[in-house]
Amino acid sequence: MFPKNTWYVACTPDEIAEKPLGRKICGESIVFYRGNGGQVAALEDFCPHRGAPLSLGKVVDGKLVCGYHGLEMGCDGKTVAMPGQRVRGFPAIRSFPVVERYGFIWVWPGDPAAADAGKIPHQDWYDHPEWAYGGGLFHINCEYRLMIDNLMDLSHETYVHATSIGQKEIDETPCKTTVDGDTVTTSRFMNNIEAPPFWKLALRGNNLADDVPVDRWQVCRFTPPSHVMIEVGVAHAGKGGYDAPVAHKVYSVVVDFITPESETSHWYFWGMARKFNPGDQALTDTIREGQRKIFTEDLEMLERQQRNLSAWPARDLLKLNIDAGGVQSRKILERLVAEESRPGESKGEASGTRVQA
Amino acid sequence: MFPKNTWYVACTPDEIAEKPLGRKICGESIVFYRGNGGQVAALEDFCPHRGAPLSLGKVVDGKLVCGYHGLEMGCDGKTVAMPGQRVRGFPAIRSFPVVERYGFIWVWPGDPAAADAGKIPHQDWYDHPEWAYGGGLFHINCEYRLMIDNLMDLSHETYVHATSIGQKEIDETPCKTTVDGDTVTTSRFMNNIEAPPFWKLALRGNNLADDVPVDRWQVCRFTPPSHVMIEVGVAHAGKGGYDAPVAHKVYSVVVDFITPESETSHWYFWGMARKFNPGDQALTDTIREGQRKIFTEDLEMLERQQRNLSAWPARDLLKLNIDAGGVQSRKILERLVAEESRPGESKGEASGTRVQA
Amino acid sequence: MFPKNTWYVACTPDEIAEKPLGRKICGESIVFYRGNGGQVAALEDFCPHRGAPLSLGKVVDGKLVCGYHGLEMGCDGKTVAMPGQRVRGFPAIRSFPVVERYGFIWVWPGDPAAADAGKIPHQDWYDHPEWAYGGGLFHINCEYRLMIDNLMDLSHETYVHATSIGQKEIDETPCKTTVDGDTVTTSRFMNNIEAPPFWKLALRGNNLADDVPVDRWQVCRFTPPSHVMIEVGVAHAGKGGYDAPVAHKVYSVVVDFITPESETSHWYFWGMARKFNPGDQALTDTIREGQRKIFTEDLEMLERQQRNLSAWPARDLLKLNIDAGGVQSRKILERLVAEESRPGESKGEASGTRVQA
């Protein structure tokens, strides 16, 4: 279950730099590539000639050329040419609205008539002199909502990430969840504690002492369909915490774009945007590798959790107060999916046209 | 098809020495660990909080702590505590009767009310100065009854184990099968033959000549649900064979505990208890490696046999006199399974409590 | 969908030289071996005793001995003997008509009463002083008809085999398809072009200049069930092309025997028979390795095409004029399969006897 009339992150530009990329998103097999003038295009990954995946082809003069028999496909899903053939009667394949923005390729797998590039959420940190960003991509064999649950309940850090960002004060400090429209926020503030290893590294990366007490915050923010932005950081204790002047803190946003592949698998685009020492590329690399190591610790747990839930489909799970962030996020998703299936609503099944972004 | 109101070997103590063990037995996903005071516990491998496998957690002060969010589970399947939560209303998970005995952990996957540790079959050879034991574990992708068939008809040794324990006299010597209650016995006695390589090794291991004729015996004994103990050995010919004085023979018991995992896979705990030269640990190791090599020869045959039987489910197999041991064992299993499914009988579905063993 | 009352290539003699071969053909699990007097036999790969695959056994004195318990199987599917057993009542297993001819083992998976070795198509090139042959075998996870399509439309060479046999003139030159009874022929003749790398190699292998213009031909010939013989070659331009004297050309036949394994997989026996410089074994090896490399380039495309077609089963494909060879071949196959399923027709389900070939 996932909404289809919405924007998902499909890939990063480097993934389509050399050749077309085939990727399944929300159950749709899609080929992504740079077409006319370098603009990104997204089409069904199915050549109308004999069904070969177009992603095995190559791009020539802005047209996607099938790697089997040379059919030239246009960015709108209409065949442009084929050696020795008149192509006017060729059936069009589906194209998907697609936009390149904020360092990602975004795709709209639903009704193209409803696609509005203005609905792609603004990313403050992108291309901004005060910020630096680094990230990566995982393919995970679990439903995307298990990842939302994971990120909206950071009490798991104490157990899954014990040696990097976990600490007992997370468990001991209650969190608070609020819902404002389609935004769900779960916050936790821990004062006068010792920074865990990852945050000591970040303090040093900002030329701050790492051996003094700190105030630590975690503000997880879900917006549909599956974006979770987490304000995280520590400040030297007593300097104002979350609101401390920049000279006394390290402040970052964990950037999570979670894209369903199928009902039991997803693409996880993770990263960290930091608002300190942005010019230090080595620090960016260090933080990315630290984050990769930390997020790798979640993989086995999430995939094994999925296998358990698939094996026991009828069993109810608990919804404790620490789970409120995930529970509220799921309610919003259920409402959005129900709206898409209502008569008169678009169901994301119509044949597509490419949005101008 | 397998009885559930019975004891199966689940694992060996070394498998739970460092961390909890997740293992599926008779279709049940179970976590095994040492709980209060080192006593073994067995629970559903499913955290009632969010469905994570408890086997990914760790044991702290006799409680199993979930590795995802720190739920503390008691050995009875009732949640003991969880950071920041009141746990009284948490649903219990199923616990399984479990007993440590004879160097194995035994589990009762059925109705716990019927579990009686006294029904675990006594093992003469365990912790006895006249005996030595060595063994191992295989996971095999075939139904457990194919392994029972295999062990109750040793005529396969001539073909599968031609270079170690097989010899033409096995084929040439008729076997005899008897049924006594729920015990099936298939015996074969071969006199005045040359010992095959494995038994020459055993003779040398007992400081006996290996170049003289021997009398050889094989007495396979099935008891439900799937234990097959095989008395095996050779004596110098004419000294009494099976009944020869210990100075003239090498006498062992092949110990086979066969535990269903699913309808088409099982765990095979194999070993050999020998009643000669018990203090020679190097001999124990040599025999274990020889046995491992021999039993490995069965794996491809059994798994390919399973694939054939799955592909031809309607085809009848032959039941020759050499198959009588397996045929009679299966009749007992069919009766036991039928008894479990009768109205008024326990079906192994009730929620469990831990047996005191 | 595939005809069963027909001859398929099952294997090559080297595959049964050392031990029996188990291979699934048209959904039938079959064991091939050399029985009485070295003559090839083909039986169901299922021991009537306990269902073990007979292909795990060995051949002793022309009888296939089961590797599990020693049942001796005759080439007609009737048990010959078993240690300690009277075998008269043993059920026979199915035998398949099988013939060794032209360097291959041919099997008839359908009604044995209809099997006629005279229907195996004659291979001119076999054991002939003017010809040399080299080939190989691939297992491919796609329906066998996708391979027929592939070989009956060589326009894919321009895209899939761009660096060896592809060239733009293939696309630019129309092909012509004709149907004569059950034979479908698609031809293309390209005159006064540069030879692509593979054909330059062949010219040099026949001591001909490779830096002069050539005439090139491709004549693809389908006959049921799935044989595609392709006359290929180049002649120095203006010497008569396809009909040029042997001193001015290199002439070969691509030999393709395509054997269904299941509805979505097949065995592909590929090779090249050349009618020039036949005594040069090093040239045979060089050509075989070149062909293996070229045909390997098709594998990913074909298997990914199958996955696409399986995912979109309702989608119609285009049937362009370049596809006419495959389209006409499929029509013949559909007629043959329909004939087999008609009441009164043999359906390839009867129990078999071995044909005398």
pLDDT digits (tens, 9 = 90+) for A182-226: 999 999 999 999 999 999 998 998 999 999 999 999 999 999 999
Q: How far apart are CA A160 and CA B65, in angstroms?
A: 12
User: What pLDDT score does A115 carry?
Assistant: 95
In which band, very low, low, confident or very high, does the pLDDT at A342 lie, cut at 50, 70 and 90? Answer: confident
**Per-residue CA distances from A51 to A115, A184, C162, C265 (Å):** 27, 43, 20, 17
Amino acid (one-letter) located at C252: S
Question: How confident is the model over B26-50, as pLDDT tens digits?
Answer: 999 999 999 988 999 999 999 999 9
Residue in chain B closest to A156 (alpha carbons) equals B69
Amino acid (one-letter) located at C219: V
Q: Is C177 exposed, middle or buried (0-12, 13-18, 19+ CB in 10 A)?
A: buried
Q: How far apart are CA B117 and CA B96, in angstroms?
A: 12
Strands (E), chain A: 8-11, 21-25, 28-34, 40-44, 58-60, 63-65, 72-73, 79-81, 98-101, 104-107, 132-140, 176-180, 183-193, 214-223, 227-236, 249-262, 265-274
Contacts for A136 with CB less than 8 Å, ≥ 6 apart? A269, A270, A271, A288, A291, A292
* Residues B57, B58, B64: CA angle, nearest 5 degrees: 90
Query: Chain B residues with CB-CB distance to A under 8 A?
Result: 29, 45-46, 48-53, 56-57, 65-70, 82-85, 90-91
| Angle subtended by helix axes A281-311 and A197-205, to nearest 10 | 160
**Per-residue CA distances from B326 to A152, B127, B144 (Å):** 56, 30, 11
User: What pLDDT score does B169 carry?
Assistant: 85
User: What pLDDT score does B354 carry?
Assistant: 38
User: What pLDDT score does C79 carry?
Assistant: 95
CB-closest option in B156, B312, B320 to C51: B312
Q: What's the sign of the alpha-carbon dihedral A194, A197, A198, A199? A: positive
For residue A234, pLDDT over 70 is answered with yes
> How many beta-carbon contacts under 8 Å exist across B and C?
69
Q: What's the sign of the alpha-carbon dihedral C11, C15, C20, C22? A: negative
Contacts for C103 with CB less than 8 Å, ≥ 6 apart? C12, C13, C126, C127, C133
DSSP lists the bridge partners of residue A236 as: A214
Q: What is the mean pLDDT of residues B207-229?
A: 95
> How many beta-carbon contacts under 8 Å exist across A and B?
70
Number of C-beta neighbours around residue C90 at 10 A? 19
Q: How far apart are CA A214 and CA A231, in angstroms?
A: 16
Query: DSSP for B143-163?
Result: -HHHHHHHHH-GGGHHHHTTT
Contacts for B280 with CB less than 8 Å, ≥ 6 apart? B132, B205
For residue B357, pLDDT over 50 is answered with no
Q: Which residues of C touch B300 (CB under 8 A)?
A: 56
Question: How confident is the model over A78-102, as pLDDT tens digits?
Answer: 999 998 888 888 999 999 999 999 9
Number of C-beta neighbours around residue A279 at 10 A? 8
Phi and psi at A340, nearest 5°, equal: -70, -25
Query: Chain B residues with CB-CB distance to C under 8 A?
Result: 149, 153, 155-156, 158-160, 171-172, 174, 300-301, 304-305, 308-309, 311-312, 315-318, 320-323
Question: How confident is the model over B234-263, as pLDDT tens digits?
Answer: 999 999 999 999 899 999 999 999 999 999
Look up the ipTM and state it: 0.89
Q: Which residues of A touch C163 (CB under 8 A)?
A: none
**Closest by alpha carbon to B173, among B154, B149, B151, B150?**
B154
For residue B345, pLDDT over 70 is answered with no
Strands (E), chain B: 8-11, 21-25, 28-34, 40-44, 58-60, 63-65, 72-73, 79-81, 98-101, 104-107, 132-140, 176-180, 183-193, 214-223, 227-236, 249-262, 265-274
**Closest by alpha carbon to C218, among C199, C201, C197, C246?**
C199
Whether omega for the bond prior to residue C225 falls within 30 degrees of 0, making it cis, is yes
For residue A357, pLDDT over 70 is answered with no
The SS3 assignment for A187 reads: strand
Specify whether the CB–CB gap between C27 and C39 falls below 8 A: no
Q: Return the residue in B158, B304, B309 with the most chain C beta carbons within 10 A, the one to mutate for interface testing.
A: B304
Contacts for B237 with CB less than 8 Å, ≥ 6 apart? B191, B192, B212, B213, B214, B215
How is the beta sheet containing B28-34 ordered, strand by strand?
Answer: B21-25, B28-34, B40-44
Q: How far apart are CA A155 and CA A176, in angstroms?
A: 12
Q: Both tokens of residue A117?
A: 């590039």
Amino acid (one-letter) located at C160: V
Q: What is the mean pLDDT of residues B86-102?
A: 94
Q: How far apart are CA C179 and CA C152, in angstroms?
A: 13
CB-closest option in C52, C65, C85 to B304: C52
In which band, very low, low, confident or very high, does the pLDDT at B172 lie, cut at 50, 70 and 90? Answer: confident
**Per-residue CA distances from B200 to A26, B212, B282, C111 (Å):** 65, 10, 16, 53
Q: Quick check: B69 and A300 CB within 8 A?
A: no
Specify whether the CB–CB gap between C317 and A51 falls below 8 A: yes
Q: Which residues of A touch C319 (CB under 8 A)?
A: none
Q: Which residues of C touch B304 (CB under 8 A)?
A: 52-53, 56
Amino acid (one-letter) located at B161: H
- Residue A239 exposure: Cα atoms within 13 Å on the Cβ side: 17
Please tell me the total number of residues recorded for chain B in this structure: 357
Q: Return the residue in C308, C315, C319 with the most chain A beta carbons within 10 A, the one to mutate for interface testing.
A: C308
Query: Chain C residues with CB-CB distance to B under 8 A?
Result: 29, 45-46, 48-53, 56-57, 65-70, 82-85, 90-91
Q: Where are the alpha helices (DSSP H) in chain C?
A: 144-152, 157-160, 168-172, 197-205, 281-311, 324-341
Residue in chain B closest to A299 (alpha carbons) equals B68
For residue A354, pLDDT over 60 is answered with no
Chain centre to alpha carbon of residue A74:
28
Q: How far apart are CA A13 and CA A103, in angstroms?
A: 7
User: What pLDDT score does B85 carry?
Assistant: 86
Q: How far apart are CA C312 and CA A53, in angstroms?
A: 12
Phi and psi at A21, nearest 5°, equal: -115, 125
Average pLDDT score, chain A: 92
Specify whether the CB–CB gap between A109 and A261 falls below 8 A: no
Identify the residue whose tokens are 């491919």.
C140
- Residue A120 exposure: Cα atoms within 13 Å on the Cβ side: 24
Number of C-beta neighbours around residue C286 at 10 A? 16
How close, in Å, is residue A307 to chain C by CA atoms? 24
Question: How confident is the model over C57-84, as pLDDT tens digits?
Answer: 999 998 999 999 999 999 999 999 998 8
Question: How confident is the model over A52-73, as pLDDT tens digits?
Answer: 999 999 999 989 999 999 999 9
Q: How far apart are CA B264 and CA A77, in angstroms?
A: 47
Q: Both tokens of residue B145?
A: 């009854």
Q: Return the residue in A69, A73, A87, A94 with the most chain C beta carbons within 10 A, the one to mutate for interface testing.
A: A69
CB-closest option in A50, A65, A85 to C305: A50
Q: Both tokens of residue A21?
A: 């990329």
Residues of chain C with pLDDT under 50: 346-357
In which band, very low, low, confident or very high, does the pLDDT at A344 lie, cut at 50, 70 and 90? Answer: low
Q: How far apart are CA B322 and CA B326, in angstroms?
A: 9
Phi and psi at C287, nearest 5°, equal: -65, -45
Q: How far apart are CA C307 and CA B314, in angstroms?
A: 31
Q: Both tokens of residue A172?
A: 């001991």
Q: How far apart are CA A119 and CA A283, in angstroms?
A: 32
DSSP lists the bridge partners of residue C222 as: C184, C228
Q: Return the residue in C58, C64, C69 with the most chain B beta carbons within 10 A, the one to mutate for interface testing.
A: C69
Chain centre to alpha carbon of residue A187:
20
How is the beta sheet containing B79-81 ordered, strand by strand?
Answer: B58-60, B63-65, B72-73, B79-81
User: What pLDDT score does C343 carry?
Assistant: 67
Average pLDDT score, chain B: 92
